[in-house]
Amino acid sequence: MIGKTWAKWRSGHIGRLVGDSLRAQWRLYAIAMVAMAIVAVTTAGTAWMMESIVDAMTTPEMKSQVYWIALGVVGLFFTKAVASYAQAVFLARAGNRIIAEQQEKLYDKLITRGVGFFAQTESSNLLMRVTNGAQAARRLVDVIVTSFVRDALTLVGLVFVMIYQQPVLSVLFFVVGPLALWGVRALLKSVRVIMESELKSLAEIIKVLQETSGGIKVIKVFALEDMMVDRMHGAIRSVERRANSIAKLQAIASPLMELLAGLAVAGVLVVSTMGLAGSEPPSAGQLMSFITALLMAYEPAKRLSRMRVAIETTLVPIGMMFQLLDQEEPMREKPGATDLAPGPGEVRLKDVTFGYSGSHPVIRNLNATFEAGKTTALVGQSGGGKSTIFGLIMRFFDPESGAVEIDGQNLQDVSFASLRRKISFVGQDTFLFSTSVRENLRFARPDATDEEIVEAARAAHAHDFIMALPEGYDTEVGENGAFLSGGQKQRLAIARAILRKAEILLLDEATSALDAESESLVKDALDRLTENVTTIVIAHRLSTVLGADKIIVVQDGQVVEQGNLDELLEMNGSFRRLFDQQFKTSSN
């Protein structure tokens, strides 16, 4: 049963990939295939001409034809050389286009996936699928095209020469061929299992490299170098062992074919010299033509015998690639989704319940209103559901029940693009792209002028430190802002949000990485810039939200209190306890 399922899966993926590739690149492949056919014909022609070459050298009557035969040999090899060049160039172009197209498809698929997908999928796994899958797709198509066109046609042509020159001796070839195919078939099951393990080990190498790059400070502080070295060495050695196993299995085909070819040549020698090939002994030219064809048939026959092994090594990464391409995206735009209508930007959650991946609900029957043009703060203990509320507002995921609305419109009925244009966000984990300061800010609004970029930076109190950088706004910030301090990165993120000029501004611990002076400056800037903007702030430090128009206390996924500062303090409840914990004095 498993074998039938694998065969069905394998044939489906091969057919789909080859069909799509040939349809998309049919012109390039058509030229390459014509060139391959010419190579096959000229290869068989080389063996055919051996009869004339040897006879011209050994028969006095044919000496007058030597120049014509020599000219024919030159023409034959020139034609083969040109065709071989054309075959290699156009096959490479088609293969490179396949890699590019598959990688484009994979990235186009990835960029539409929701935030939850990336949270549940390791980046090393994605890198393996995008790189190895596309490369394997190219190798598979190349193997199939070259095997079925060049190698198969060459073998057919050479077999024709053999049969024409010596029919009886050719029988030996048909005895040797099935033996070789039977031997190669036994290798295939082992190749498949080894390839699956090898890809897992390759993913582990990528993972260790990423963790080393991203967590080098933790590794150094906790002296984890030896542990990381052991992990990396273990993964590398695992890949090495499996690569050696693959090489061993692939290499078996060559000596097997060489042994059988040797047996065939020995058989030809015995049969021809003992006069067993027929009543009339062959001429020297006929025998040389036959032996040449037999020896030349060895290479295409060997490649054809190894084709199945080569195909098996590509199927596992190709399967991983198609698995990603075929996955359904749970967060999809509703057919006929409309743009979010212009409005003041009131956000409302109605009886919202949500849990990650079907787990225990993080939010249960939550109701909250964030009034347009005002600042609302979300406070409460960690894990209460505050960041989840942000994710629902940005529609990174949909509620299991209830609705999230902006200006009375259910977010599930509107387009992603119109929703995202409405919102600007600054998180506690600041992310910057590996480009210049200017381009990082311009990502917020591609049509922004340089003057607007500078104005936003001034508002976020980032302009002065930017101008102190080696190239000012054109300074490269490094991978995720590696060349900047935490406070500098945070101020750039705030400047980016300011530049966006969205009606709704979400701030998740937006001033957490700033020193007291910078925090005060940025808070003043935000106070001015959030005027008439619906602002929702998550903060664990209550000092940053005391001036909010409304404070909502979230606990265990529910709203337990809400009101302005004075009202919440008078309630003497959860907020009052948080307030006393953070502002208790030490005067006694």
Q: What is the 3-state secondary structure (H, E, C) of 3-53?
A: HHHHHHHHHHHHHHHHHHHHHHCHHHHHHHHHHHHHHHHHHHHHHHHHHHH
Specify whether the CB–CB gap between 347 and 406 falls below 8 A: yes
Apex 312 CA angle, 40 and 25, nearest 5: 55
β-strands 534-538, 423-426: how paired? Answer: unpaired
Kindly list the averaged pLDDT for each block of 10 residues, start to end, along the chain of length 588.
Answer: 44 73 84 89 84 72 73 86 89 85 84 76 77 82 83 85 77 62 55 60 72 71 76 79 70 62 63 56 71 76 73 78 79 84 89 81 90 89 85 88 91 89 83 87 88 88 90 88 82 86 84 68 69 84 81 88 87 85 57
How far apart (Å, rounded) are the C-alpha atoms in residues 13 and 541? 55
Residue (of 138, 155, 122) closest to 298 by Cα position:
155
Q: Which long-range contacts (CB under 8 A, 24 or more apart) does 101-107 make?
A: 101/24, 102/133, 102/134, 102/137, 102/138, 102/321, 103/130, 103/131, 103/134, 105/325, 106/130, 106/133, 106/134, 106/321, 106/324, 106/325
Q: Which fold has domain 347-583?
A: Rossmann fold (3.40.50)
Rg of the chain over all Cα atoms, to the nearest angstrom:
36
Phi and psi, residue 536, nearest 5°: -120, 125
Domain with CATH 3.40.50.300 in the chain: 347-583
Sheet holding 363-370, edge to edge: 363-370, 347-354, 401-406, 409-410
Measured on CA atoms in the order 436, 441, 446, 451, is the torsion positive or negative? negative
Residue 30's contacts (CB-CB under 8 Å, 6 or more residues apart) are: none
- What is the number of residues in the chain? 588
Architecture of domain 9-326: Up-down Bundle (1.20)
Number of other CB atoms surrounding residue 240 within 10 Å: 12
Predicted local confidence at residue 473, as pLDDT: 92
Specify whether the CB–CB gap between 436 and 424 falls below 8 A: no
How far apart (Å, rounded) are the C-alpha atoms in residues 300 and 72? 24
Residue 476 in tokens: 């490269």
Tokens 């393990």 locate to 197
Residue 487 in tokens: 């406070």
How far apart (Å, rounded) are the C-alpha atoms in residues 225 and 223? 6
Predicted local confidence at residue 12, as pLDDT: 66
Predicted local confidence at residue 3, as pLDDT: 44
The greatest distance separating any two alpha carbons of the chain, rounded to the nearest whole angstrom, comes to 126
Number of other CB atoms surrounding residue 193 within 10 Å: 13
How far apart (Å, rounded) are the C-alpha atoms in residues 80 and 83? 5
How far apart (Å, rounded) are the C-alpha atoms in residues 201 and 234? 9
Tokens 């390791």 locate to 122
pTM exceeding the 0.85 threshold for the entire prediction: no
Residue (of 323, 310, 322, 327) closest to 17 by Cα position:
322
How far apart (Å, rounded) are the C-alpha atoms in residues 376 and 552? 7
Task: Return the SS3 of 234.
Answer: helix
- C-alpha 212: how far from its chain's center? 21
Domain with CATH 1.20.1560.10 in the chain: 9-326
Predicted local confidence at residue 405, as pLDDT: 92
Predicted local confidence at residue 93, as pLDDT: 87
Predicted local confidence at residue 577, as pLDDT: 85
Residue (of 238, 242, 232, 230) closest to 207 by Cα position:
232
Task: Return the SS3 of 444.
Answer: coil
DSSP string, 398-439: --SEEEEEETTEEGGGB-HHHHHHHEEEE-SS----SSBHHH
